[in-house]
């Protein structure tokens, strides 16, 4: 039931009102004009050829149809393919998809849609994909070799094809088997007006590159080939060149090796060239007509291509060896016979090549033995054909269609109605046409047309097509579905459409007049043995393998089965195969004869609808039930829906089914209980049941999961609990053990103490008190004694002049190390005191001066360290013995502390001049070195400070108080070689004289007063290595004096 709103007409003809032919056609037309080409009758799909590409195919639609059930979306071939595939997968039922309809009604396209749908939705994976690819790629190859342009269809299949796709239990494709039926091989040598030979010839010429053409000795121009119809070498909408490339790559995908492809093309080109073998009249010596090859080129080229001796081929084409048990007779053939032989060879080579290709494909896609498989068969067989001139081919094609119609009738109309009767379901019979009688007419083993034909072929004596016809006329003179000129005459009918050499059969799909000409020949399908033997001798492996009977060792005189008999038996096998599977129908309808889009010829469609039995189909469907199944399997599938039947049911199957369906409260009209089966009227109900089952399965899965999870958790918990108990038991035990150990140790300790205490208490009276301290004192004292005695013996040298030895013995006990340190210090202090005590007052004075110098300059001035070892001698100019110099002292009392030659730096220009400096207790006296008279006398109380550099130089500045008479002129900048001694003595003299500490500043930058101004002195370290006393003054401007010292 269509669930979609806005559908055009009715989507399922079961719902059609009123149910008459007119409304059925109107409905189809209405839908066709709205581009709704698919319509259902229940689960049968009717497809009306749109002759245009509609946007209703492709992955998007495939995905959609995969997700919905049959009636939920618009009618589509995908929906049918989906049902078939799902049923195959879920219900394990082999399926077949029967596509029927006239030639050009869209069967092949429908079969491709089914295959592409199944390929898209079935399993995935590398291997599966390669199988799918191979299955899909078999199409272009088979179409190239087996399809041709006909008047009705530009891509008409000229062979029947049944393809079994085999799946594993998961529904992934494993491979397949292709069966082909009777290729229309007469097309190889002759085509009707407006038709073409098989596609591959045109594809090869158009698509092969120059190199390949050359290798095959072909020319691109189709006009050069007698077998190719010259009028229509191109077909609109077909691109031969690109199809050729597609065929080549498809063959490679399927697994053809490069050599195999090459060989196939070589044999194909051989067939083409056979057409160019021209036979001409010749006469033998005795005057009987014979034949010969006129232009040897074609034969030569064939010979070169397939490795065949061209003379041998020529002989085989133009003569015939008759062989009896006793002798061999060679007869020459006349031109007609030779042409016949040539064409027969071409047809045979081509049709055998086609069979070989099908077998080769089967080899690639075949499934390994032993793999359990399910099968989906797709049947795309040539459609019913009524041509102007119908021959043997049309006869077998139409016979096959007749059989398919029979399958349809048997399985949908007859079987169904009979089943209702059998099962005791109330039923009003629907009439339909049963074509069994026509099938019988053709195929009856003794009295069928095919049997008659075989009989004629095998009968000794003069046999011809007309003797065959005469036989038919005689046998079927009264048959309702057989007519001929003779039977018509007998009934005094006049029919100008009936030729003399014709008979007519009223097929289910219409009357067809067959011309008996060549029936015998085509049925015999004779190929002279000379030709098959010649082919077998070819070097070409493929060609050779096509003619096994040419092997003289295998030669048999037995006739091969006739074409008709072969076809009949393969159709019988096919029928058996189809009956064993669940059928799914696609009924194709051709809307017009002109391959025009949008044109809907009611008459044409009405004819087809009539013979397809669409109305009857709808009637049976309407009154009938969509689904039936035995009680057993039905109960097995659905018993989980009821609590009474699940999980255990002990009653009978039927009661069980009643119980299940009763609980689901189905409406009574929906169900019918037969004797062995349950019938369900509408698919909706079935879908409902399936949905319920799916939900229930989910519930059950959840239940199983729940119980399993619960069980797993419980086991886990129990394990954890057991482990926990074990761990805590061990832990507690351990704690207790430790605790006990502690208590035990404590008890023992207490016991020991108590025992000790008791023992001491008992024995105390025997001990003297204070003994321990006395002992300790004694021990300590003896340690000290030992220490001191050891120290005495190891004392370092007491010689005061020995300052080198500073070792001191280590304390024997650690507790005495502090005392030891103190003793060491005492020792050295004592040694120092002894040294000091033995010094004379003068030495003391000298050392005091040295001490003062160290306090003033140690670590401050670089030249200090040099001055340390040199004793201060005070007089450096020999003052003592020089009364002249003594005078300089003037009236000054006391000794001269320091007498030295110094340099005075002229503050004005930086030049130096020599002076003698005397330091007395109260003054500093500067005199000229030559004149020896005091030039400047400076009272020490006027000296405010001195500045020296930190370097090794002797420069110093004498800062004077401004108030003094000398000082008003400014400070002195002097250079002394004994600057450390001089300044130390000056410091002490100032301290003695004025109780004031002279400020001694160590700096590189100081300022000296010069009259009223001050001059900044900057001392710079000159390059090393010069004379210490050298210094160089440079005036920089009026306020700056730069002194470079070494």
Ligand X SMILES: Nc1ncnc2c1ncn2[C@@H]1O[C@H](COP(=O)(O)OP(=O)(O)O)[C@@H](O)[C@H]1O
Half-sphere exposure of 425 (CA within 13 A, CB side): 25
Shorter beta-carbon distance to Mg ion: residue 107 or 342 = 107
**398 lines the binding site for Mg ion (CB under 5 A):** no
* 3-class state of residue 951 by DSSP: coil
Segment contacting Mg ion (CB under 5 A): 107-115, 296-304, 824-832, 1018-1026? 107-115
Determine whether the annotation assigns residue 87 to a binding site.
Answer: no
Shorter beta-carbon distance to ligand X: residue 53 or 445 = 53
Shorter beta-carbon distance to Mg ion: residue 279 or 358 = 358
Minimum distance of ligand X from residue 79's CB (angstroms)? 14
Shorter beta-carbon distance to ligand X: residue 598 or 741 = 598
From residue 478, alpha-carbon distances to 491, 519, 814 in Å are 10, 23, 149
Minimum distance of Mg ion from residue 502's CB (angstroms)? 27
Segment holding 749, helix H or strand E: helix 683-763
Q: Which residues bind ligand X (CB under 6 A)?
A: 49-54, 101, 103-109, 153-157, 383, 588
Determine whether the annotation assigns residue 859 to a binding site.
Answer: no
- CB-CB contact of 514 with 391 (8 Å): yes
**Sign of the C-alpha dihedral, residues 770, 774, 775, 780?**
positive
Encoded tokens for 218: 């072909």
- Around Cβ 993, how many Cβ atoms within 10 Å? 16
Dist. CA 981–CA 856, nearest whole Å: 11
Instruction: Rounding to the nearest 10 degrees, give the CA dihedral for residues 159, 389, 528, 571.
Output: 40
- CB-CB contact of 847 with 832 (8 Å): no
Query: With CB cut-offs between 5 and 8 Å by kind, which of ligand X, Mg ion, none does residue 103 bind?
Result: ligand X
Query: With CB cut-offs between 5 and 8 Å by kind, which of Mg ion, ligand X, none does residue 473 bind?
Result: none
From residue 990, alpha-carbon distances to 39, 995, 1000 in Å are 138, 7, 12
Report the Cα 69 to chain-centroid distance in Å: 32
Shorter beta-carbon distance to ligand X: residue 107 or 904 = 107
Minimum distance of Mg ion from residue 153's CB (angstroms)? 7
Minimum distance of ligand X from residue 588's CB (angstroms)? 6
Half-sphere exposure of 77 (CA within 13 A, CB side): 28
Dist. CA 455–CA 608, nearest whole Å: 35
Dist. CA 671–CA 1008, nearest whole Å: 136
Determine whether the annotation assigns residue 104 to a binding site.
Answer: yes
Shorter beta-carbon distance to Mg ion: residue 108 or 947 = 108
Minimum distance of ligand X from residue 347's CB (angstroms)? 22
Query: With CB cut-offs between 5 and 8 Å by kind, which of Mg ion, ligand X, none does residue 50 bind?
Result: ligand X
**Would you give the end-to-end CA distance of the chain in angstroms?**
123
Minimum distance of Mg ion from residue 199's CB (angstroms)? 13
Burial of 607 (0-12, 13-18, 19+ CB in 10 A): middle
From residue 685, alpha-carbon distances to 72, 87, 417, 833 in Å are 13, 16, 21, 131
Shorter beta-carbon distance to ligand X: residue 78 or 631 = 78
Which of 846, 785, 847, 837 shows the shortest CA–CA distance to 816? 785
Minimum distance of ligand X from residue 112's CB (angstroms)? 8
Shorter beta-carbon distance to ligand X: residue 154 or 533 = 154
Dist. CA 75–CA 37, nearest whole Å: 9
How many helices (H) and strands (E) would you count in the chain? 33, 31
Determine whether the annotation assigns residue 466 to a binding site.
Answer: no
Instruction: Rounding to the nearest 10 degrees, give the CA dihedral for residues 497, 499, 502, 507.
Output: 0
Minimum distance of ligand X from residue 1's CB (angstroms)? 25
Shorter beta-carbon distance to ligand X: residue 52 or 746 = 52
Which of 295, 149, 157 shows the shortest CA–CA distance to 234? 149
Per-residue burial over 893-905, b if 16 or more Cβ lie within 10 Å, else e, is eeebbbbbebbbb
Determine whether the annotation assigns residue 103 to a binding site.
Answer: yes
Determine whether the annotation assigns residue 175 to a binding site.
Answer: no
Dist. CA 455–CA 508, nearest whole Å: 26
Residues 6+ apart with CB under 8 A from 188: 197, 198, 227, 271, 343, 346, 347, 350, 351
Q: Which of residues 139-158 bind Mg ion (CB under 5 A)?
A: 157
Query: With CB cut-offs between 5 and 8 Å by kind, which of Mg ion, ligand X, none does residue 109 bind?
Result: ligand X
Determine whether the annotation assigns residue 106 to a binding site.
Answer: yes
Residue 712: phi and psi, rounded to 5, are -65, -40
Segment holding 328, helix H or strand E: strand 328-332
Minimum distance of ligand X from residue 518's CB (angstroms)? 24
Count of residues touching Mg ion (by CB under 5 A): 3
Tokens 């069979």 sit on residue: 355
Query: With CB cut-offs between 5 and 8 Å by kind, which of ligand X, Mg ion, none does residue 564 bind?
Result: none
Minimum distance of Mg ion from residue 16's CB (angstroms)? 29
Minimum distance of ligand X from residue 309's CB (angstroms)? 42
Minimum distance of Mg ion from residue 47's CB (angstroms)? 13
Strands (E), 775-874: none
Query: With CB cut-offs between 5 and 8 Å by kind, which of ligand X, Mg ion, none does residue 953 bind?
Result: none
Residue 122: phi and psi, rounded to 5, are -85, 160
Minimum distance of ligand X from residue 147's CB (angstroms)? 8
Residues 6+ apart with CB under 8 A from 366: 175, 176, 177
Q: Which of 69, 108, 305, 405: binder of Mg ion (CB under 5 A)?
A: 108
Shorter beta-carbon distance to ligand X: residue 51 or 649 = 51
Determine whether the annotation assigns residue 324 to a binding site.
Answer: no
Minimum distance of ligand X from residue 37's CB (angstroms)? 7
Shorter beta-carbon distance to ligand X: residue 417 or 608 = 608
Query: With CB cut-offs between 5 and 8 Å by kind, which of Mg ion, ligand X, none does residue 51 bind?
Result: ligand X
Residue 283: phi and psi, rounded to 5, are -125, 140
Shorter beta-carbon distance to ligand X: residue 61 or 808 = 61
Shorter beta-carbon distance to ligand X: residue 543 or 574 = 574
Tokens 């089965």 sit on residue: 561
Query: With CB cut-offs between 5 and 8 Å by kind, which of ligand X, Mg ion, none does residue 305 bind?
Result: none
Which of 178, 114, 116 shows the shortest CA–CA distance to 145? 178
Shorter beta-carbon distance to Mg ion: residue 157 or 233 = 157
- CB-CB contact of 62 with 45 (8 Å): no
Encoded tokens for 985: 């003595």
> Omega before 647 cis (within 30°)?
yes
> Where on the chain is the footprint of Mg ion (CB under 5 A)?
107-108, 157
Q: What are the binding residues? A: 101-108
Binding residues for ATP: 101-108
């Amino acid at each position: 039931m269509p669930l979609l709103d806005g559908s055009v007409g009715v989507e399922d003809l079961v719902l059609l009102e009123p149910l008459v032919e007119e409304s059925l056609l109107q409905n189809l037309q209405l839908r066709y004009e709205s581009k709704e080409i698919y319509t259902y009758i229940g689960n049968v799909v009717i497809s009306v050829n749109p002759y245009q590409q509609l946007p209703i195919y492709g992955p998007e639609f495939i995905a959609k149809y995969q997700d919905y059930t049959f009636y939920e979306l618009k009618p589509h071939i995908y929906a049918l393919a989906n049902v078939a595939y799902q049923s195959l997968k879920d219900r394990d039922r082999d399926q077949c998809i029967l596509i029927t309809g006239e030639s050009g009604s869209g069967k092949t396209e429908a079969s491709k849609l089914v295959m592409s749908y199944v390929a898209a939705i079935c399993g995935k994976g590398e291997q599966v994909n390669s199988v799918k690819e191979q299955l899909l790629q078999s199409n272009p190859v088979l179409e190239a070799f087996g399809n041709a342009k006909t008047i009705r269809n530009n891509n008409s299949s000229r062979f029947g094809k049944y393809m079994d796709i085999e799946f594993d239990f998961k529904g992934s494709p494993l491979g397949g088997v292709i069966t082909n039926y009777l290729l229309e091989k007469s097309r190889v040598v002759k085509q009707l007006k407006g038709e073409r030979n098989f596609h591959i010839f045109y594809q090869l010429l158009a698509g092969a590159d120059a190199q390949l053409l050359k290798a095959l000795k072909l020319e691109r121009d189709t006009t050069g080939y007698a077998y190719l119809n010259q009028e229509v070498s191109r077909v609109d909408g077909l691109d031969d060149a690109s199809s050729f490339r597609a065929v080549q790559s498809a063959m490679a995908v399927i697994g053809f090796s490069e050599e195999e492809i090459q060989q196939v093309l070589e044999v194909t080109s051989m067939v083409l060239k056979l057409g160019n073998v021209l036979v001409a009249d010749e006469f033998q010596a005795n005057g009987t007509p014979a034949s010969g090859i006129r232009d040897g080129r074609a034969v030569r080229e064939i010979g070169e291509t397939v490795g065949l001796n061209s003379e041998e081929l020529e002989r085989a084409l133009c003569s015939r060896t008759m062989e009896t048990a006793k002798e061999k007779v060679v007869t020459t053939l006349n031109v007609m016979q030779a042409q016949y032989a040539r064409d027969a060879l071409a047809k045979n080579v081509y049709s055998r090549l086609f069979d070989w290709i099908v077998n080769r494909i089967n080899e690639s896609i075949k499934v390994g033995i032993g793999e359990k498989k399910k099968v989906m068969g797709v049947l795309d067989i040539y459609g019913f054909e009524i041509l102007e001139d119908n021959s043997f081919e049309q006869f077998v094609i139409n016979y096959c269609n007749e059989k398919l119609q029979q399958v349809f009738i048997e399985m949908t109309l007859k079987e169904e109605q009979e089943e209702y009767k059998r099962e005791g379901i109330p039923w009003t019979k629907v009439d339909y046409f049963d074509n069994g009688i026509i099938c019988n007419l053709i195929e009856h083993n003794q009295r069928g047309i095919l049997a008659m034909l075989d009989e004629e072929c095998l009968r000794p004596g003069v046999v011809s097509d007309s003797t065959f016809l005469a036989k038919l006329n005689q046998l079927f003179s009264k048959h309702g579905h057989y007519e001929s000129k003779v039977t018509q005459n007998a009934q005094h009918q006049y029919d100008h459409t009936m030729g003399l050499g014709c008979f007519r059969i009223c097929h289910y799909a219409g009357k067809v007049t067959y011309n008996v000409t060549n029936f015998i020949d085509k049925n015999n399908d004779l190929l002279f043995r000379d030709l098959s033997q010649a082919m077998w001798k070819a070097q070409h492996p493929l060609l050779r393998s096509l003619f096994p009977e040419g092997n003289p060792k295998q030669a048999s005189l037995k006739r091969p089965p006739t074409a008709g008999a072969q076809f009949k038996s393969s159709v019988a096998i096919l029928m058996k195969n189809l009956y064993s599977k669940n059928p799914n129908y696609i009924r194709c309808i051709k809307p017009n004869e002109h391959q025009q889009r949008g044109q809907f010829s009611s008459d044409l469609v009405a004819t087809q609808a009539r013979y397809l039995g669409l109305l009857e189909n709808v009637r049976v469907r309407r009154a009938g039930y969509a689904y039936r199944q035995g009680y057993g399997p039905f109960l097995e599938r659905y018993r989980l829906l009821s609590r009474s039947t699940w999980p255990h049911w002990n009653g009978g199957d039927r009661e069980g089914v009643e119980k299940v369906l009763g609980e689901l409260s189905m409406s009574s009209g929906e169900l019918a209980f037969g004797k062995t089966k349950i019938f369900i009227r509408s698919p909706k109900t079935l879908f409902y049941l399936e949905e319920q089952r799916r939900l229930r399965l989910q519930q059950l899965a959840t239940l199983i999961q729940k119980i399993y999870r619960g069980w797993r958790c419980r086991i886990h918990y129990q394990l954890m609990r057991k482990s926990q108990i074990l761990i805590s038991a061990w832990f507690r035990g351990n704690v207790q053990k430790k605790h006990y150990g502690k208590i035990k140790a404590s008890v023992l300790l207490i016991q020991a103490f108590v025992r000790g205490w008791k023992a001491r208490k008992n024995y105390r009276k025997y001990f003297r008190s204070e003994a321990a301290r006395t002992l300790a004192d004694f021990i300590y004292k003896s340690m000290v004694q030992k220490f001191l005695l050891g120290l005495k013996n190891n004392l370092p040298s007491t010689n005061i002049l020995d300052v080198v030895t500073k070792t001191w013995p280590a304390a024997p006990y650690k507790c005495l190390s502090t005392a030891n340190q103190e003793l060491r210090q005492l020792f050295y202090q004592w040694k120092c005191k002894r040294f000091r005590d033995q010094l004379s007052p003068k030495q003391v004075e000298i050392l005091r001066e040295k001490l003062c110098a160290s306090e003033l300059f140690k670590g401050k001035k670089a030249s200090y360290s040099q001055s340390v070892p040199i004793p201060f001698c005070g007089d450096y100019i020999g003052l003592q013995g020089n009364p002249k110099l003594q005078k300089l002292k003037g009236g000054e009392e006391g000794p001269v502390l320091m007498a030295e030659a110094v340099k005075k730096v002229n503050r004005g220009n930086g030049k130096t001049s020599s002076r003698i400096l005397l330091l007395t207790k109260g003054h500093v006296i500067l005199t000229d070195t030559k004149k020896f008279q005091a030039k400047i006398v400076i009272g020490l109380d006027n000296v405010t400070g001195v500045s020296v550099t930190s370097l090794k130089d002797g420069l110093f500045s004498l800062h004077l108080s401004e108030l003094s008479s000398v000082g008003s002129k400014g400070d002195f900048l002097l250079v002394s070689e004994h600057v450390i001694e001089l300044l130390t003595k000056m410091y002490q003299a100032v301290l003695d004289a004025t109780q004031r500490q002279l400020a001694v500043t160590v700096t590189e930058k100081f300022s000296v007063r010069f009259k009223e101004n001050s001059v900044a002195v900057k001392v710079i370290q000159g390059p090393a290595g010069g004379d210490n006393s050298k210094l160089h003054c440079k005036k920089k401007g009026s306020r700056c004096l730069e002194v470079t010292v070494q």
